[in-house]
Amino acid sequence: MNTFAQGLLAASISTISMLSLSSVSVAASTTRAQFSPKISPALATQIKAVEASEALNDGQKIPALIYMLEQASVEKAYELESKADRGKYVVRALVATARKSQRGLIAMLKSKKLEYKSYYLGNAVAIMNATPTLIREIARRPDVQRVVADPKIRAKFPSTDRRERLEPQPNGAGDNIIKIGAERAWTEFGARGAGIVIAGQDTGVQWDHPALKNHYRGWNGTTADHTYSWHDAIEKPVNTDEVNTCGYNVKVPCDDNSHGTHTIGTVVGDDGGANKIGVAPDAKWIACRNMDAGLGAPHTYLECFEFFLAPYPQGGNAATDGKPELAPNVINNSWGCDHSEGCDGSEFLGVLKSLEAAGIMVVASAGNSGPGCGTIDSAPAHHTEETLSVGAHDHRSDKIAGFSSRGPSIFDNGTGPDVTAPGVDVRSCTPGNGYASFGWSGTSMAGPHVVGQVALMWSSAPALIGNIKDTISLIRRTAHSRTTTESCGKIPGTAVPNNTFGYGTIDTYESVKAAKAEFGG
């Protein structure tokens, strides 16, 4: 196994015998009942349950994520001109810091024969099966910033309508694509996303779907090479209730749910015929599977982000085999790490800052917990300064979708979403070479429209590539302002932005036009 002493980060899991809980007393002392402020509330709740359990001696264990105190400074990356150079700088800084700061902790974990996995992005270590005693011991370490839960998170997928319905016949660009001005941008500006790589972490992808195959970076028109264009973060079962149809640790893209295929299709899908379902059909895509039959976890989400920062071969070492020059430009995130299910909320804050420094834009679906106020309750969307969050509207009426989460963010109280995009009955591709629209409703469907919008803007104005803040500003400024009778977070619905539509409904044509005018191209 690779060790830090050999100059490598441990990137593979060593499964060895676990510590026993038999020594833990159910009758905890007053000192034992207290928790370090470094331990997240959700993790503390889990520890209490284990310590109080009658089955304590059966060996109950808790998964957790440890974040190190020392975090790399990546601000100098902004001084570099090219995205490739920015990415290389960020990766070098993160790896060096993780190698140094994790050394002591990993030595301790190895001495106790514990299962773990190291991540340089975020400077975190995942413990797969920890005891309450161990977690308390780790929290006392001066080199540890915090210890948080690593719960299983069930994705809130669209409630697809399974009744027999006649799907609309394809007739060129979909009405959602036309409505946001993408087809007009293709025609008038030749903006189709060429030269831009988009990424999605989701349930996987049917890579050889007719609408996706020719847009996959791992396909050269003759042969497929998945090495740096696909990663499976599901190395072993997360969902223990069923056997995954794709298997685990797979080297060829596979979709165990169909959600990931549908979302990628909205960004780039085009079969060369009548099925023009994607906003940016000339962009290329790569992907990472972060869920096991609908169940993800903070460590699987983190692993996909790390792969996108510097793609590496399946089974390889992220810290030494990664190639930041192959990183995507923009990432779609149609998932959420829900606070109510045990996410701390801050798991990805440092991760998002590092991705931005590397010139990689993060687009996040706002969530499907509406129509109440304050329902943007999941990372990464609830980080209003570090992501561009997207709500959903019905493109046929421009009305907000009832399910679309409203602001303010429960994490930072920021206004959200930034904008809204079509998210009701969106037609895109599904596994089995199919297409579907009825029931495919959610902010999961809305977010990919904005990822495609970014691809069109950056392909039209290369000087804007990697300039996240100006890109977000242009998207907000060119959106069609929408007001509402809803007032959330002391912001009236008549204001712009508001906590229902944000700055309004996206206009891809106008954003490309503005990008070309202000940044050349």
Question: By the 8 A CB rule, do 404 and 392 touch?
Answer: yes
- Given this model, what pLDDT does residue 24 score? 35
- Given this model, what pLDDT does residue 2 score? 38
- In a domain, residue 165? The reply is no
DSSP state of 221: S
Residues 208 and 353 in one domain: yes
- 419 Ramachandran zone, left/alpha/beta (phi>0; psi -120 to 50): beta
Q: What are phi and psi of 43, to 5 degrees?
A: -70, -40
Pairing verdict, β 337-338 and 295-296: unpaired
Domain end (from 117, 145, 173): 145
Residues 6+ apart with CB under 8 A from 168: 427, 437
- In a domain, residue 378? The reply is yes
Residues 412 and 265 in one domain: yes
- Given this model, what pLDDT does residue 274 score? 94
List 379's β-bridge partners, or say none: 337
- Given this model, what pLDDT does residue 241 score? 86
- In a domain, residue 162? The reply is no
- In a domain, residue 152? The reply is no
- Given this model, what pLDDT does residue 52 score? 83
pLDDT band of residue 158 (cuts 50, 70, 90) is low
Pairing verdict, β 124-130 and 116-119: antiparallel
- How far is residue 361 from each of residues 159, 264, 346, 414, 470, measured CA to CA in Å? 29, 16, 18, 19, 11
- Given this model, what pLDDT does residue 161 score? 54
Model pTM?
Answer: 0.92
| pLDDT at residue 9 tops 90 | no
- Given this model, what pLDDT does residue 51 score? 85
- Concatenate the DSSP letters of all residues of 340-355 into one string: GGT--S-TTHHHHHHH
- Given this model, what pLDDT does residue 326 score? 98
- In a domain, residue 173? The reply is no
Give 438: exposed, middle or buried? Use CB within 10 Å, 0-12, 13-18, 19+.
middle
pLDDT band of residue 160 (cuts 50, 70, 90) is low
pLDDT in tens, 495-505: 999 999 999 99
* Domain region containing 487: 187-519
- In a domain, residue 132? The reply is yes
Angle at which helix 443-460 crosses helix 468-478, to 10 degrees, equals 110
Between CA 140 and CA 469 the distance in angstroms is: 38
Domain end (from 90, 122, 145): 145
- Given this model, what pLDDT does residue 165 score? 55
Between CA 454 and CA 362 the distance in angstroms is: 10
- Given this model, what pLDDT does residue 20 score? 31
Instruction: Give how many domains the chain has, as a whole number.
Output: 2
- Given this model, what pLDDT does residue 167 score? 65
Six token digits for residue 206 = 């049917």
- Concatenate the DSSP letters of all residues of 413-438 into one string: -----SEEEE-SS--EEETTTEEE-T
Once rounded to an integer, what is the mean pLDDT over residues 383-411?
A: 97
pLDDT band of residue 520 (cuts 50, 70, 90) is confident
Residues 206 and 119 in one domain: no
- Given this model, what pLDDT does residue 186 score? 98
Instruction: Name which of 305, 257, 261 is nearest 285 in CA terms.
Output: 261
pLDDT band of residue 166 (cuts 50, 70, 90) is low
- In a domain, residue 205? The reply is yes
Residues 125 and 196 in one domain: no
- In a domain, residue 426? The reply is yes
Residues 140 and 205 in one domain: no
Residues 62 and 208 in one domain: no
pLDDT band of residue 28 (cuts 50, 70, 90) is very low
Residues 479 and 399 in one domain: yes
- Concatenate the DSSP letters of all residues of 100-113 into one string: HHHHHHHHHHHHTT
- How far is residue 514 from each of residues 169, 453, 454, 511, measured CA to CA in Å? 34, 12, 12, 5
Between CA 106 and CA 178 the distance in angstroms is: 53
Between CA 157 and CA 344 the distance in angstroms is: 22
Between CA 238 and CA 413 the distance in angstroms is: 32
Domain end (from 145, 179, 195): 145
Amino acid at position 243, single letter:
V
Between CA 41 and CA 230 the distance in angstroms is: 35
Q: Helix (H, G, I), strand (E, B), or coil: what is residue 369?
A: coil
pLDDT in tens, 245-299: 999 999 999 999 999 999 999 999 999 999 999 999 999 999 999 999 999 999 9
Residues 355 and 424 in one domain: yes
Between CA 343 and CA 349 the distance in angstroms is: 12
Residues 353 and 470 in one domain: yes
| Cis before 380? omega within 30 | yes
Q: How many CA atoms lie within 13 A of 487 on its CB side?
A: 5
Instruction: Name which of 422, 439, 443 is nearest 430 in CA terms.
Output: 439
Q: From the CB of residue 185, how many other CB atoms can be counted at a distance below 10 Å?
A: 27
Residues 96 and 226 in one domain: no
Once rounded to an integer, what is the mean pLDDT over residues 389-402?
A: 97
Alpha helices in 275-395 (DSSP H): 298-309, 318-321, 349-357
Tally: H helices and E strands in the chain: 13, 21
* 321 compared with 1, residue with greater pLDDT: 321
Q: Helix (H, G, I), strand (E, B), or coil: what is residue 137?
A: helix
| pLDDT at residue 48 tops 70 | yes
Q: How many CA atoms lie within 13 A of 105 on its CB side?
A: 36
Question: By the 8 A CB rule, do 467 and 473 touch?
Answer: no
List 391's β-bridge partners, or say none: 420
- Given this model, what pLDDT does residue 53 score? 77
Question: To the nearest whole percent, how much of the chain has pLDDT over 90?
Answer: 85
| pLDDT at residue 3 tops 50 | no
- CATH code: domain of residue 391: 3.40.50.200
Residues 351 and 496 in one domain: yes
Six token digits for residue 225 = 């090479």
Once rounded to an integer, what is the mean pLDDT over residues 222-249?
A: 95
Residues 17 and 131 in one domain: yes
| pLDDT at residue 14 tops 50 | no
- 16 Ramachandran zone, left/alpha/beta (phi>0; psi -120 to 50): beta
Mean pLDDT taken over the chain: 91
- Given this model, what pLDDT does residue 163 score? 44
Once rounded to an integer, what is the mean pLDDT over residues 167-171?
A: 73
